[in-house]
Structure 1
Amino acid sequence: MATIIAQKPSIQLEGYPIYTEISDIVYEQLVNSNNKYVQIDSSAHSITIKRSFFKKNKQVQNVTRFFIEANEEEVIIYSPIKNSDILLNSSFDDSLIESNFKNKTIAIILESPHIDEYESNAEKLIPIGPAQGQTGKKIEKNIEKLIERLRDFHVIEDNHLYRINIINAVNFQTSLHYIHEKPLNNYYRELRDKIWLKMWSEIPQIKNEFLKHTSSLKKGSIIINACPKSLKPFVNLEFIQNINKYHLFESNHPTSTENWVDSLFKIN
């Protein structure tokens, strides 16, 4: 008598052939969402995330959030002037990143936008900006402390005007929260990581855009990988070629229970 082996549920991105296994719980929730961005193949026990979910108009833009100037006595923080209607709903005075900035940059790298980075709209996914909500608040609250910590590592040049950029390695909502509306618990954190890795590895322009930005920074700039621990290695791998050009750091994600600045350490 033949044994029937149940097919494990899987997920793929429309237009990309790789199927990735997901849990039964996540599969059922995505099926039951009846979301317009999800295509179900019940016979294959598979889900396809439609291409419209990761079109350019769903992309959260990377930004310059602060300018800072520091010396032994003080840290002066400036806000940029908003330069795009795309960022009008940001909780911060963000500006789109200018490619011709002549000074050094402090780039804070996050993994991808989540809930607060999009407008609450049942009809469509509308980007706001990176690091909104608690992520943005905790970054803002600790900017002065961050600069003091970087001074301890002797990587801050006195009286030099730095810009602080907030960069998502993947600019789309890899948590798929808009579809399933569930908290980022173990099942959905695992889903976030799997979708993040699929987009990072399967959609060439995502990684290319990230590398185009980071490789254009002025020598001596500071890059802080504040992605979740599970995704840090994939981002760090891309910095090997620039190991002698930038000061490379890791930290906890800004929303971690420990103050993210206290976890800062240099990796080169």
Structure 2
Amino acid sequence: MSGKKESYKVKIWINGVEKELETKIKINLEEIPSEASKYYSEENGMICINEKFFDDSRKVPPDSRFIIDIDCKGVITNAKIGDSNPKLNKYIFLVLESPHRDEYTWKSECLTPSKPAQGTTGMRIEENLEYVLMAINPKLGNSLEVGKYEVILINPVPFQASLGSLYTGEIQGELRNEIWTLLWKDTKCKDEFLGTIAKKQQDVKLIINSCTIQLQKHVQQALTEPNKGYQIVKMRHPSQWNLGIDFTP
């Protein structure tokens, strides 16, 4: 029916294996972009998402976004990385969750990835990052030393787990969480996430685990399993940083 969202069962393919989800998607088929036809089909009241939606060309890669400067008085300033900024040898990883609509565009009928945190989340990171770090550093005994740090934004699951480009309105959280968990467990996402951080292991000074609260435990467990001695702080997702600086248990 035109203009009305209906509930459909969802089936996805990951690594050639068919997975039928417990969570249904609420969607108006008439609102799905025509370009999306290569990624899904509707069969007997079920939305079937094919493997193209989760192939490597749909990954949103990590992004070196900011340089943080800590002076001798503990004052922290934040600036975006420009083309002329040198690469540094001290890193802070800001862990997000998975990319949504703002991190993709439709180009030549393909869902094309951009960079992490391109919408409201990115704006709130830029506005609040220095204040967040000024709250974190005393919590860590001021272990972040004087100097400049490169801040890297990374999604543990670099695919659009929400399927948000297929529907309008708010992101359907339960659907996203179920797909995110499947991708985390049944693909190389976890290993690639840990591998990206491990490549800079000796120079990683801080990891801020700001994954969505329902999924944060999976990321935290993965980061602590290797026993690499990372300094890890858990916080609410950056999309909520405008509400205050809150650490999560």
- Could you tell me the TM-score, scaled by structure 2's length? 0.82
1:201 has 2:156 as partner: no
Separation (CA, whole Å) in 2 of partners of 1:257 and 1:67: 19
| Aligned position for 1:89 | none
How far has the Cα of 1:258 moved from its partner? 5.6
The percentage of aligned residue pairs carrying the same residue is 26
Q: Which secondary structure does the structure 2 equivalent of 1:116 belong to?
A: helix
Distance 2:83 2:191 in 1: 26
Q: What's the CA shift for 1:233?
A: 1.1
- The alignment partner of 1:174 has SS state of coil
Q: 2: CA distance between counterparts of 1:132 and 1:231?
A: 21
Q: Equivalent residue for 2:22?
A: 21
Structure 1: which 5+ runs fail to align?
1-7, 84-92
Aligned alpha-carbon RMSD (Å): 2.8
Letter in 2 for 1:175: S
1:74 matched to 2:57? The reply is no
| Matched-pair contact (CA < 8 Å) for 2:137–2:143 | yes
Residue of 168, 191, 214 corresponding to 2:155: 168
Residue in structure 2 matched with residue 131 of structure 1 by the alignment? 117
Instruction: Please point out which of 168, 182, 197 is paired with 2:169.
Output: 182
Inter-CA distance 208–121: structure 2 relative to 1 (3 Å threshold)? same
The reply on whether 1:249 has 2:233 as its aligned counterpart is: yes
> CA-to-partner distance for each residue in 1:2-50, whole Å, 9 max, x for gaps?
xxxxxx9342225123322223xx26646984742113442xx544311
In 2, the alpha carbon distance for the partners of 1:51 and 1:13 equals 5
**Residues 121 and 160 of structure 1, relative CA distance in 2, 3 Å threshold:** same
Q: Which runs of 5+ in 2 are unaligned?
A: 1-7
Write 1 or 2 for the structure with the bigger share of strand: 2
Residues 70, 146 of structure 2: 8 Å contact kept = yes
Alignment match, 1:65: 65
Query: Which aligned pairs between 1:25-44 and structure 2 lie closer than 5 A?
Result: 26=25, 29=28, 33=32, 35-36=36-37, 37-42=39-44
Cα distance in 2 for residues equivalent to 1:224 and 1:122: 36
Asked if residue 115 in structure 1 is aligned to residue 101 in structure 2, the reply is: yes
Q: Aligned equivalents of 2:75 and 2:230: distance in 1?
A: 24
Q: Hey, what's the Cα distance between the residues in 2 that align with 1:180 and 1:40? A: 14
1:227 aligns with 2:211: yes
1:80-159 matched pairs, under 5 angstroms: 80-82=81-83, 102-103=89-90, 105-119=91-105, 123-153=109-139, 154-159=141-146
TM superposition score normalised by structure 1: 0.76
**Corresponding position of 2:5:** none
Cα pair 2:31 2:168 within 8 Å, conserved: no
Residues in 1 aligned to 2:240 and 2:10: alpha-carbon distance in whole angstroms: 30
Q: What count of residue pairs does the alignment treat as equivalent?
A: 235
Give the residue type in structure 2 aligned to 1:222.
L
SS at match of 2:67: strand
For 1:259, the aligned partner's letter is L
